[in-house]
Amino acid sequence: MAGSILFLVALVISGAFIAESLSAPSPRRTYSSDKLIRVHPTTPDQMETLKRLQTHPAVELDFWTAPHLDKDVDIHVTKTAYSDVTRRLSRAGLKQSVLINDLQSVIDQEQISMEIPDFFVGPAGNMVASSGDKTRNSDIVGKYARHSEIDSWLTSIADQHSTLARTESIGTSHEGRDMKVIRIGKNHQERIKPMIWLEAGIHAREWISPATAVYTIHKLLTQYGVDPEVTRLVDEFDWLILVSANPDGYEYSHTTDRLWRKTRTRQSGRCTGVDPNRNFDIAFGGAGTSTNPCSDVYPGTMAFSESETRNIRDSLLANRERIKLFLSFHAYSQLLLTPYGYTSSKPADNAELMRVAEVGIASLKTIHGTSYAAGSPPDLLYAASGGSYDWAKAVAGIRYAYTYEMRPAAASYGQSGFILSESEIIPNAEEVWASLVTIATEIQY
């Protein structure tokens, strides 16, 4: 009898594996012996060397943090490029430290952690033990869920809280996946209240971003009438939350390439994808982009070339008179970024934007002691054009627009910045939630 049961279990697992394999577009990419290295440029010449490497079409590099003078720069180097890159860095006087010696081993550990029983947030906000494989549990809070799981969960939780929420589609992705948003608010059907618009997952590999948006939705709906702060925010605002802003890329990062960042549109030659957060019509093709279609920061042939960014644009424009706060979730660096990303020039109301950001990150720190910095990308990171929050501020006219760069603060020895353990989801989401409460309370409209 026991043998029969084991056979049936093996058969079910094999069937699931076969089904998953059939749905995968191509073999899973491996990063065996690829390294994550760190350099620290201190001279203009060293900066120039890094910028040349960043745009060199024949050198396989993925800059996880862009070159910035007197700042740490993390670079993913393939095993085939490592010797050449090391020589180039050495000639420029750039000392490197190896943070991760085998990137695939970190990815493998993440995958293992996702298959074992863990804990998730229960209906009352308490931690509940999950039963069995986490990927098959209907409650996805605290997990790295697939796009289809997120889609089903949004429908389910909206149905469970139908007086406060409903889902709606803002369009489909390039590959035909639904881009579903959830609208949350007391009397949201009347569509007269000020609105908060939250976008997550625009960069596919930043899994902590959609997971934090899922937690936020769960908090708003399950704690309404229980937590006074939640109740006030649901009464005062309509929340429009897009959990998966790049569904094709996100799914591809699960099935085929864990570190995929872009969309999945076919570009010239062998290259695929556009960086959707360089595809908005604000200083398009400027700082922080590349004309190389294979680059992770390739902005596309024209602004809004991607169906995903057009869908976001159209939803923002349709609600622009009501949206008072736009938020974009990203990873990593532990920053709350203010406009503008594409220029060192500041908006006229920068002092107000900074005031709100500073009190927001102060509230965030009270939860787990996590420190964030606030400021514009050119001041804290690097200039980057074509971003969603810059477009929301400068073109759609939304006064308060911010980008979160969430945990971790930096990649560390043996730990990847983008490959964050599922155990980090809830603590990260809890502290981000605390900042959201403060920011939503502080904005003036």
Following CA atoms 81, 82, 86, 88 in sequence, which dihedral angle do they give, to the nearest 10 degrees? Answer: 0
φ, ψ for residue 393 (rounded to 5)? -75, -55
Residue 170: is it exposed, middle or buried by C-beta count within 10 angstroms (0-12/13-18/19+)?
buried
Distance, CA of 30 to CA of 256 (rounded, Å): 9
User: Does residue 352 carry a catalytic annotation?
Assistant: no
Q: What are the CA-CA distances from residue 68 to residues 56, 205, 383, 406, 433 (Å)?
A: 18, 22, 10, 19, 30
Distance, CA of 40 to CA of 89 (rounded, Å): 11
Distance, CA of 306 to CA of 168 (rounded, Å): 20
For residue 404, the number of C-alpha atoms closer than 13 Å in the C-beta half-sphere is 29
Strands, sheet with 323-331, edge to edge from the N-terminal-most edge strand: 165-172, 178-184, 238-242, 195-200, 323-331, 400-406, 335-337, 373-375
The alpha helices in 223-344, defined as continuous H runs, are 228-236, 247-255, 307-318
Count of beta carbons in the 10 Å neighbourhood of residue 291: 10
Residue from 110, 251, 308, 405 carrying the catalytic annotation: 405
| Under 8 Å between Cβ of 114 and 134 | yes
400-421 burial, b if ≥16 CB within 10 A, otherwise e?
A: bbbbbbbbbbebeeebbbbbbe
| Under 8 Å between Cβ of 334 and 409 | yes
Distance, CA of 324 to CA of 402 (rounded, Å): 12
Question: Which among 399, 386, 277, 300 has a CA at the least distance from the CA of 342?
Answer: 386
Interacting residues of 413 by C-beta distance below 8 A, sequence separation 6+: 99, 100
φ, ψ for residue 23 (rounded to 5)? -80, -15
Pairing of β 195-200 and β 323-331:
parallel
Pairing of β 400-406 and β 323-331:
parallel
| Under 8 Å between Cβ of 34 and 104 | yes
Catalytically annotated residues: 405
